[in-house]
């Protein structure tokens, strides 16, 4: 796992996804966020690390676009979030983001397994708490 910190964008998968999000046309970004959240939320079997990392990043994007949402200091967060560009995300993405986060932290998730094996699940869960709070969950 190419992870350098516990923040939502501080791993290879999330950083790559954030870059792709910035490269996309603004009117295509909501679909990319939805697809990332769907991939995790709808996984009934073992959730792989790639889908989990991207889902966490997508949930963080949804949270950041909410009123009083968190700001992410990571240099790997989408530049379009930090630049003040307008984002238009439908309200139903909030509940989808919460479902995706629930799936990421649940059993049968490689994300959870890798953090537990590394002995540090508390820190990433703390990072996700700000995301959950902004989402109302």
pLDDT tens string 28-68 = 999 999 999 999 999 999 999 999 999 999 999 999 999 88
Extents of the domains making up the chain: 12-135
Nearest to 14 by CA among 46, 50, 40: 50
pTM summary value: 0.95
- Measured CA to CA in angstroms, residue 116 lies from 28, 50, 57, 95 at distances of 35, 17, 19, 26
pLDDT at 1 over 60: no
Structure tokens at 90: 């439908």
pLDDT tens string 53-112 = 999 999 999 999 998 889 888 889 999 888 878 888 999 999 999 999 999 999 999 999
- Predicted local confidence at residue 5, as pLDDT: 85
Burial annotation 110-119 (CB, 10 A radius, 16+ → b, else e): bbbbbbeeee
Nearest to 29 by CA among 52, 53, 62, 56: 62
- Predicted local confidence at residue 15, as pLDDT: 96
SS3 120: coil
Stretch (H or E) spanning 115: helix 110-117
């Amino acid at each position: 796992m190419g992870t350098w910190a516990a923040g939502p964008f501080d791993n290879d998968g999330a950083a790559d996804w954030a870059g792709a999000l910035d490269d996309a046309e603004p009117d295509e970004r909501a679909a990319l966020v939805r697809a990332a959240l769907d991939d995790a939320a709808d996984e009934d079997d073992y959730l792989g690390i790639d889908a989990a990392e991207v889902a966490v990043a997508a949930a963080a994007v949804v949270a950041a676009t909410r009123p009083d949402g968190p700001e992410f200091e990571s240099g790997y967060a989408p530049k379009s979030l930090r630049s003040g560009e307008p984002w238009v995300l439908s309200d139903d993405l909030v509940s989808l983001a919460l479902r995706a986060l629930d799936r990421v932290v649940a059993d049968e998730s490689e994300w959870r397994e890798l953090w537990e094996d590394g002995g540090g699940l508390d820190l990433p869960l703390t990072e996700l708490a700000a995301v959950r709070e902004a989402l109302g969950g």
